[in-house]
Structure 1
């Protein structure tokens, strides 16, 4: 590419005073590029925000690795805890008992997943203690038949700290009348909220000893939970641990526990990228229309350049430069606007909700009640490159058409 090709291409980009319609189409193409790029960056930031927030909140109540017996309780768990804690990279190990139950209070009933935990050891494998909103997780140690409820679950039951709830366990006793459910009254000693409605409305915690007595496990537990230094190394760590423990145990990492959920989130991110890229594609079609009209308007100029010895390839470069400048300008403005919007989404959305008196994300429907945003440079680069690529592809046909202009035909009536 020579300097004169660049100079003529930039000159054609600026000189549109004779044809206001071409200027309007060019402005539309730039505006479409700006809107498409900005919207795509903002949406990708929101999707990243959802992914990061959900991962952190899920890891707050679940552990990196879960070890369970294959259909049988883990009996000699204190020895297993000591051995697992000595493994390199392990920061904590805790036993747990898990079962389904119904909770009842004052005529209100709700199902829940009830977990028996040791509060002291549990603090090493998750951040549940930091999410307590009332009472204390340690109160499970000091009081028999105490229970900690999710705040949404407590609201459904109409109970607070100090209130009484009845736990109805399906693992009941056998009588001449059949299997009868086991009932036990618990005192609410704490409320927690991790910010995910499914957990806040469906989880309850009791002490490990109470769970063992309630479900008749003696000294056994459902399994062990482990925390490691690097949560993203959990798949490899779990695979190695499964090899060590053998088929008597089932080892599962957090990516497997919520595999379908995160796969769906990743697929949604890809689909949103493809759908919003269509906005950029429409803007690219506007670039095609702009350049086709410019070529038609500049046929006489093209013919004169050809008679002066300018090669067809150089004519192509001239109009490719013009289209690239339009795409580059629109992409740059779109990136600036998208980054600015993505960084201010946590502030803008609450302001819009307050102004219009609406709530976009109801906590009873969605896992997250606030719109998060997490801007990643990788996504900004991918969006910018996609926009520039579409802009460049949009210049191919008009520039090819310009290179095929016949000087004799173009100058016949000049």
Structure 2
């Protein structure tokens, strides 16, 4: 990929992921090259080594068509953490790429970076109306469509799994309150004989179940948010402690576990969980309010 080092930061973050060298070391006419870490490892090259690039367009001679070759010197190595780029991408200066491919001052493509990455498909559709018919306009959602579709499916499935886990916890609240009602039958009967209404008895157990759910939710949200904000520290620590790797780059495309806290998701899950908790308290509370004082105190 031919780039302009001064303008590259506007469209990509390679400068922040340089392991050796700098992008500024790519100077026109010096034929320097920056390789991905896995690509450099596969080629068994390091800084200042020479690599030979073969252009697909050959030189036509009377004898045969000869491939066009050019030696480049490795001036940098980057590692972005995504296997596709680390294993197959090489960066050279735009002028050197034009000289290698004999394109004069022309380019084969232009990359754009927008402020909101989720608006990329709409921007791509709008650009299609202003370019030639033979120009291909693509965005990041098309480049890795299967990968991002799989991530979206996993996210939806994980939401369902979380709801099922909350439902199991709600059943535990039901069983806890049923046992509490069974254990406090005499106390409930005494309250009824003293004039407590069925609604007030029901309210007592609803508040008890809601309090249990609120404490559990508070602890769960606090632990989940803390883990999400520090996942980049926790996961590497576990990997080093147990000598394992959760994400292999050649399998999952990425080597790190990224985490971005979405407060809308936190609020949605917390709200649904609290509603399920309240629903779980209704049946035991209703049973408590329907308790007959005479039956409860018969053997007291």
Q: How does 1:259-408 map to 2 (within 5 A)?
A: 259-408=145-294
Aligned-residue RMSD, C-alpha = 3.4
Aligned counterpart in structure 2 of residue 192 of structure 1, from 78, 102, 106: 78
CA distance in 1, matches of 2:251, 2:270: 34
Higher RCO (Cα < 8 Å, 6 or more apart): 1
Q: How does 1:130-145 map to 2 (within 5 A)?
A: 130-143=16-29, 145=31
Task: Quote how far apart the aligned CAs of 1:210 are.
Answer: 4.2
Task: Quote how far apart the aligned CAs of 1:132 are.
Answer: 3.3
Please list every run of 5 or more consecutive structure 2 residues that lacks an aligned counterpart in the other structure: none
**Is 2:226 aligned against 1:226?**
no
CA distance in 1, matches of 2:63, 2:187: 100
Check 1:178–1:316 CA distance in 2 against 1; reply closer, same or farther (3 A cut).
farther
CA distance in 1, matches of 2:227, 2:16: 32
Task: Quote how far apart the aligned CAs of 1:289 are.
Answer: 0.9
Check 1:305–1:136 CA distance in 2 against 1; reply closer, same or farther (3 A cut).
closer
Task: Quote how far apart the aligned CAs of 1:320 are.
Answer: 1.4
What does residue 208 of structure 1 align with?
A: 94
CA distance in 1, matches of 2:22, 2:188: 81
Task: Quote how far apart the aligned CAs of 1:218 are.
Answer: 5.3
CA distance in 1, matches of 2:229, 2:6: 39
Q: How does 1:165-180 map to 2 (within 5 A)?
A: 165-172=51-58
Tell me which moved more, 267-276 or 155-164: 267-276
Aligned residues: 300
CA distance in 2, matches of 1:409, 1:136: 84
TM-score by length of 2: 0.80
Task: Quote how far apart the aligned CAs of 1:145 are.
Answer: 4.2
SS of corresponding position for 1:194: coil
**Is 2:45 aligned against 1:159?**
yes
Task: Quote how far apart the aligned CAs of 1:278 are.
Answer: 3.0
Task: Quote how far apart the aligned CAs of 1:292 are.
Answer: 1.3
CA distance in 2, matches of 1:219, 1:142: 13
CA distance in 2, matches of 1:359, 1:277: 28
CA distance in 2, matches of 1:173, 1:123: 35
CA distance in 1, matches of 2:149, 2:297: 61
Task: Quote how far apart the aligned CAs of 1:294 are.
Answer: 1.9
Tell me which moved more, 159-168 or 125-134: 125-134
Check 1:298–1:120 CA distance in 2 against 1; reply closer, same or farther (3 A cut).
closer
Q: How does 1:83-94 map to 2 (within 5 A)?
A: none
Check 1:348–1:211 CA distance in 2 against 1; reply closer, same or farther (3 A cut).
closer
SS of corresponding position for 1:141: coil
Check 1:393–1:308 CA distance in 2 against 1; reply closer, same or farther (3 A cut).
same
SS of corresponding position for 2:45: coil
TM-score by length of 1: 0.61
Deviations along 1:40-64, one digit per CA (max 9) or x if unpaired, are xxxxxxxxxxxxxxxxxxxxxxxxx
CA distance in 2, matches of 1:256, 1:185: 34
Deviations along 1:67-110, one digit per CA (max 9) or x if unpaired, are xxxxxxxxxxxxxxxxxxxxxxxxxxxxxxxxxxxxxxxxxxxx
CA distance in 2, matches of 1:241, 1:136: 33
CA distance in 2, matches of 1:341, 1:119: 37
Check 1:312–1:342 CA distance in 2 against 1; reply closer, same or farther (3 A cut).
same
Please list every run of 5 or more consecutive structure 1 residues that lacks an aligned counterpart in the other structure: 1-114
CA distance in 1, matches of 2:284, 2:59: 82
CA distance in 1, matches of 2:64, 2:160: 58
